[in-house]
A and B are shown apart, each in its own frame.
Chain A
């Protein structure tokens, strides 16, 4: 594994799609570098679920072409064959370039990431981090978090979003 870039992340499709759906794709600007494997690009931009210009406007995106044999070997070695192409490529890319933060909203990918000693972060985490870094107010963060449930296609239980918002307010009081 190489050296971790400062504040870099690899993106799986979920956060790119869900943040786009709530108008929060620009929050990915909290990272200094965002690495996107080609299979994820194909699942998002390639299917018109995310705008290429919006992604490129972030100014931090690096696209990666992955060797099919290398990714399938990696998936086989780590029992990840049940995951989709983009998910396999994003996990593999993390290992290849030594980036430990993986943006994903998929619970199975999160589990695989932890197994590989990576740090999985979901769309909600990106919104809260944007708040923590002062990019948005507490009220705005609450609205984006609620929209992830109400507007986006992210599969999550409402109560969990409510509990997360409660935690956010508690952290603000500390």
Chain B
């Protein structure tokens, strides 16, 4: 919470925007991120197709999520070996 308040105060001071405007922008950015993660999650779980995910969030995010997923599964394979 302290960090969040520090971010808010710093952004207000440095952008010289009203606090309410910074909070509105933060809400939009947060919502966009949550939406993107929801789409990527549904794609990785096979609930929507890859092309649907690409249409919704762009190929760069889909490819990044796929590479992260592959890396994570490799880590699990290594970690759980006998």
Contact = CB atoms under 8 A, between A and B. Distances in A.
Given A120-B74, A121-B75, A163 B45 contact: yes
Interface residues of B, number: 19
Given A157-B40, A159-B44, A164 B71 contact: no
Given A159-B44, A160-B44, A122 B37 contact: no
A158 to B, nearest CB: 5
Q: Is the interface of A mostly helix, strand, loop or mixed?
A: helix
A157 B80 contact: no
Interface in B18-65: 37, 40-41, 44-45, 64-65
A157 B37 contact: yes
Given A107-B67, A157-B37, A157-B40, A122 B45 contact: no
Given A122-B71, A163-B72, A157 B41 contact: yes
Contacts of A107: 64, 67-68, 71
Interface residues of A, number: 26
Nearest to A145: B72
Interface of B: 37, 40-41, 44-45, 64-65, 67-69, 71-76, 78-80
5 contacts: A121-B79, A122-B75, A124-B75, A126-B79, A171-B80
